[in-house]
Amino acid sequence: MGKAIGEILPYALGAAISVVPIIAIILMLVTPKAKTNGTAFAAGFVLGLALICGVAVALAGGSDFSSGSGPTKTVSVIKLLLGALLLFAAARQWRARPKPGQDPAMPKWLSSIDQFTPMRSLGIGTALSAINPKNLALSVAAGLSIAQAGLSTGQEVATVIIYVLLAGATIIGPLVVYLAMGQRAAEILGGWRTWLADNNATVMSVLLLVFAAVLIGKGISGLAG
């Protein structure tokens, strides 16, 4: 199990660095419905991570990807494709970065976040972790790594939970800060939001490039082995 946790740690870190979801929950935490919407958003984000990673483990485990050269080669091909997806996303993010002096572009729905209901917050949180290309690719890669580790069902579940908690830490963290500090947390969270918004494109393009290289490297290594 320790080896499996070591395998998923980089994927969890990559999923945790999700700039738009972090900005979204920070903005939610300065609205009148901060507690309910923030909690719903964090729950949705965690749910999306658990869903994708869990499904990947179940499908890969059902195909016996943990043993035999055939399934292992299939996993390597999947990782290559996921790496290519992240490479494409990195290039797209880099091209979209703001020019010097230009305000960073943010999703339009962020401007109406004070009108969100708990159900919409839950849905947006789930979508940002389950449908976002980066998090989707990393959660699938984590699930495949867990399935290949030859763990018992209980150990697989525990490893998925560890992945979800680590990957969701940056979304759960601001909520914990708000619940612990209340309105006093606004200044701290506001500083985080400003920095993230200004550096979103650069941070995400570099991150995507790094994890594209990791997945492509693992895919090539698996095919050559």
Q: What does the block give as tokens for 153? A: 């069902």
* CB of 205 closer than 8 Å to CB of 97: yes
What is d(CA 183, CA 186) in angstroms, rounded to the nearest whole number? 6
Q: Residue 193 — pLDDT band, cuts 50, 70, 90?
A: low
Among the ranges given (32-36, 41-45, 51-55, 205-209), the one the predictor scored with the smallest mean pLDDT: 205-209
Judge whether residue 120 has pLDDT over 90. Answer: yes
Q: Residue 191 — pLDDT band, cuts 50, 70, 90?
A: low
* CB of 7 closer than 8 Å to CB of 149: yes
What is d(CA 158, CA 90) in angstroms, rounded to the nearest whole number? 31
- In tens, the pLDDT along 7-33 reads 888 899 889 888 888 888 888 888 888
- What is the pLDDT at residue 164? 96
Q: Residue 69 — pLDDT band, cuts 50, 70, 90?
A: very low
Residue 171's Cβ-side half-sphere holds a number of Cα atoms within 13 Å equal to 36
Query: Domain span at residue 82?
Result: 2-224
Number of domains the chain is built from? 1
Residue in 144, 181, 176, 178 with CA at minimum distance from that of residue 163: 144
| Cβ count near 128 (within 10 Å) | 22
**Displacement of CA 25 from its chain's centroid (Å):** 14
Judge whether residue 63 has pLDDT over 60. Answer: no
- In tens, the pLDDT along 144-188 reads 889 888 888 899 999 999 999 999 999 998 898 888 887 676 666
Residue 73's Cβ-side half-sphere holds a number of Cα atoms within 13 Å equal to 6
- What is the pLDDT at residue 142? 92
Residue 195's Cβ-side half-sphere holds a number of Cα atoms within 13 Å equal to 6
DSSP assignment letter at 68: S
